[in-house]
């Protein structure tokens, strides 16, 4: 890998040429208050910041950007902070997943349109890290991720609370009449005590671990609590690292090889990570042109023990993991299963980055020969109800339901479900299989996190806390229960889920990786002939673009025109 000279920098085309356009670029940069010595001949680093007051998980990223700048200046670079869309899971409706691809497009176009030599990508809440990586993959400038980091542990009346997971738990208790408004208000006050992402192994921490395991963060970055001073120091170190990456021309395509992506997949499986990671891995594989599909993801899960004892699959929270050794310790323990020679952002191998990291609590990070489960936390199902695949987080499901046959109770859409789920006359038992339609990439739209369907109130009052639930939706990484997700093709496209009728028997067999509708093919053919699709919700704007080009869950829900196989857009002309 050759070392660049100042004249080889991409930004030289903007700043280094003796012509009218470069005069304009230099004079306008001076207009901000910089002198030519600040930027001439130096790597220009774009700090893509997803800070937003509408995204509480990212509220500290305004300050972290300043700390990144400090590192860039220290290393002899010129930092430029650029705001980008902030896809916060807690506020955006119908789902931030609808906007993941928009942020990915924005990252790519911001990098292409501006005089940038390298990117520092600031984000954390569920869809931010995947989107930032997708955009970086397509532009392929030297890039490094600064994860937002998890918030501090929650507390309520002596109990430790985990954001997301305990929300669902105590909401069920309130609906069952076990706790009242006072207790619920106290939980609301105590469950989210600081800035940062969910402190469970939800999607945010899952994708931070994935980014580190694939080599796109500094070592240890994934598990640092957002308020910890180590997080600020990591941000500055990332700023120093990106300048070196530019001079060395160390790009995402050099780092995210097939081995690196499979390192990330294996790490997520070992951590009991979010089902959302499946969709994001498939999208990233498409962007990098890597041969990873659902079958390969399931094969890796079968080979990988679940070793992380974190909610919603276990007992502890991200803050506990940090004190137990953090992400480096997890990756070091997984070392025998990883491709440790994979190169990372700092130029070192993954093995070198994690060497010597100790696990300080075997109860938080289990030994490989004493795992929580013998295989990873996610499983891919197929069958006549999911011919192109479905996903279940079986490590957080009820063991007695992993092999189950029961009658379907169908909800046509989220509004139908919401209107009927608490009806005391609802014809449902613990053996029923709840089915939700119109929740996929097109039907939602955006594939919202509706897959952890609420338990019917009448069953909660009987003490039932789990049942089989099926949908073409996603669910939060903090969710749990026997929920089959991402059923593909989705119901909006006339997939088999669209043909299920209340009373049909559905058979779930997770050990055999099967999901089947026990209805004859002749009957299904007749139902299919009578089926008509619903009208797509968005008639204009980004929503219309999304509906026209989004792929199905088994392809990552990316836009069909953004995969690496579609070719790269050339660099802009400078006139």
Confidence of residue 126 (pLDDT cuts 50, 70, 90): very high
Residue 565 has pLDDT above 60, yes or no: no
Instruction: Give the count of beta carbons closer than 10 Å to the beta carbon of residue 41.
Output: 16
42-152+194-354 and 379-530 agree in CATH topology: no
What's the CA gap between 257 and 269, in Å, rounded? 19
The pLDDT, as a whole number, for residue 569 is 63
What pLDDT is attached to residue 459?
A: 97
pLDDT at position 563: 83
Q: What would the mean pLDDT of 466-489 be, rounded to a whole number?
A: 97
Q: What is the pLDDT of residues 201-251, one digit of tens each?
A: 999 999 999 999 999 999 999 999 999 999 999 999 999 999 999 999 999
Helix (H) or strand (E) holding 80: strand 78-83
Q: What are the distances in angstroms from CA 560 to CA 96, 363, 383, 505, 548? A: 19, 44, 25, 35, 9
The SS3 of residue 47 is strand
Q: What is the pLDDT of residue 571?
A: 78
CA atoms within 13 A on the CB side of 88: 18
Backbone angles phi, psi at 8, to 5 degrees: -90, -10
Position 174 pLDDT exceeds 80:
yes
pLDDT digits (tens, 9 = 90+) for 365-412: 999 999 999 999 999 999 999 999 999 999 999 999 999 999 999 999
pLDDT at 566 over 70: no
Helix (H, G, I), strand (E, B) or coil at 159: strand
Quote the percentage of the chain above a pLDDT of 90: 95
pLDDT confidence tier of residue 485, bands split at 50, 70 and 90? very high
452, 417 in Cβ contact below 8 A? no
Cα separations (Å) of 389 from 275, 330, 342, 418, 487?
13, 30, 30, 26, 6
**How is residue 413 written in tokens?**
């859409």
Query: What's the confidence (pLDDT) of residue 574?
Result: 66
Strand order in the sheet with 44-49: 78-83, 44-49, 118-123, 143-147
pLDDT, tens digit, for every residue of 529-559?
Answer: 999 999 887 888 999 999 999 999 999 999 9
Q: Report how far apart, in Å, the C-alpha atoms of 392 and of each of 395, 497, 509, 569 are.
A: 9, 16, 11, 37
- Nearest-angstrom CA–CA distance, 301 and 220: 23
User: Residue 101 and residue 299: Cα distance in Å, rounded?
Assistant: 27
Who has greater pLDDT, 5 or 565? 5
* Mean pLDDT, rounded, of the chain: 96
| pTM across the whole model | 0.96
Q: What is the pLDDT of residues 32-60, one digit of tens each?
A: 999 999 999 999 999 999 999 999 999 99
- The pLDDT of residue 323 is 98
Chain CA centroid to CA 171, Å: 24
**Which of these CATH numbers, 3.50.30.80, 3.20.20.60, 3.40.50.720, 3.30.465.10, describes 379-530?**
3.50.30.80
**564 pLDDT band (50/70/90 cuts)?**
confident
Q: Where are the domains of the chain?
A: 42-152+194-354, 155-190, 379-530
Q: What are the percentages of helix, strand and coil residues in the chain, rounded to 5?
A: 40, 15, 45
Instruction: Match domain 42-152+194-354 to its CATH number in 2.70.170.10, 1.20.1580.10, 3.20.20.70, 3.40.50.2300.
Output: 3.40.50.2300
Give the position of tokens 């059923």. Answer: 487
3-class secondary structure, 51: coil
The percentage of residues in the chain with a pLDDT greater than 70, rounded to a whole number, is: 98
> What does the pLDDT read at residue 537?
78
């Amino acid at each position: 890998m050759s070392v660049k000279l100042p004249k080889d920098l991409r930004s030289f085309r903007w700043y280094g040429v003796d012509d009218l356009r470069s005069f304009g670029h230099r004079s306008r940069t001076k207009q901000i208050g910089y002198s030519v010595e600040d930027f001439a001949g130096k790597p220009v680093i774009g700090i893509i910041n997803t800070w937003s007051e509408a995204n509480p998980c990212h509220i500290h990223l305004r300050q972290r950007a300043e700390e990144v700048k400090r590192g860039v200046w220290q290393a002899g670079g010129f930092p430029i902070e650029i705001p980008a869309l902030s896809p916060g899971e807690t506020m955006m409706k119908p789902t931030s997943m609808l906007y993941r691809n928009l942020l990915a497009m924005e990252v790519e176009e911001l990098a292409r349109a501006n005089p940038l030599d390298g990117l520092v990508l600031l984000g954390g809440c569920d869809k931010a890290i995947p989107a930032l990586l997708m955009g970086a993959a397509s532009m392929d400038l030297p890039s490094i991720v600064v994860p937002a980091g998890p918030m501090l542990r929650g507390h309520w009346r002596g109990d430790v609370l985990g954001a997301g997971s305990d929300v669902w738990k105590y909401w069920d208790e309130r609906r069952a009449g076990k706790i009242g408004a006072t207790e619920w208000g106290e939980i609301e006050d105590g469950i989210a005590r600081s800035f940062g992402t969910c402190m469970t192994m939800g999607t945010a921490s899952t994708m931070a671990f994935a980014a580190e395991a694939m080599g796109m963060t500094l070592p240890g970055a994934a598990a640092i609590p957002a308020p910890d001073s180590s997080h600020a120091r990591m941000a500055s170190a990332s700023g120093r690292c990106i300048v070196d990456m530019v001079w060395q021309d160390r790009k995402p395509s050099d780092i995210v090889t097939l081995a690196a992506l499979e390192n990330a997949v294996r790490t997520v499986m070992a951590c009991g990570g979010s089902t959302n990671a499946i969709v994001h891995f498939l999208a990233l594989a498409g962007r990098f042109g890597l041969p990873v599909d659902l079958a390969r993801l399931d094969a890796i899960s079968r080979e990988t023990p679940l070793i992380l004892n974190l909610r919603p699959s276990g007992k502890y929270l991200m803050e506990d993991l940090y004190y137990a050794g953090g992400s480096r310790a997890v990756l070091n323990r997984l070392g025998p299963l990883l491709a440790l020679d994979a190169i990372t952002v700092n130029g070192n191998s993954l093995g070198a980055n994690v060497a010597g990291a100790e696990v300080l609590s075997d109860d938080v990070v289990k030994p490989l020969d004493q795992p929580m489960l013998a295989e990873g936390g996610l499983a891919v199902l197929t069958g006549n109800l999911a011919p192109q695949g479905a996903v279940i987080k079986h490590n957080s499901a009820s063991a007695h339901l992993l092999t189950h046959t029961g009658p379907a109770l169908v909800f046509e859409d989220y509004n139908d479900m919401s209107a009927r789920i608490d009806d005391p006359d609802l014809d449902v038992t613990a053996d029923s299989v709840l089915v939700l339609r119109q929740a996929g990439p097109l039907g939602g739209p955006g594939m919202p996190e509706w897959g952890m369907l609420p338990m019917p109130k009448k069953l909660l009052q009987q003490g039932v806390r789990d049942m089989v639930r099926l949908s073409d939706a996603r669910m939060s990484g903090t969710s749990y229960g026997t929920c089959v997700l991402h059923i593909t093709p989705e119901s909006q496209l006339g997939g088999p889920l669209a043909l299920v009728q209340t009373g049909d028997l559905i058979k779930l067999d997770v050990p055999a990786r099967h999901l089947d509708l026990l209805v004859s093919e002749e009957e299904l053919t007749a139902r299919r002939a009578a089926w008509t699709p619903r009208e797509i919700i968005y008639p204009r704007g980004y929503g219309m673009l999304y509906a026209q080009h989004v792929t199905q869950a088994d392809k990552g829900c990316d836009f069909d025109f953004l995969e690496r196989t579609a070719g790269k857009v050339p660099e802009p002309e400078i006139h």
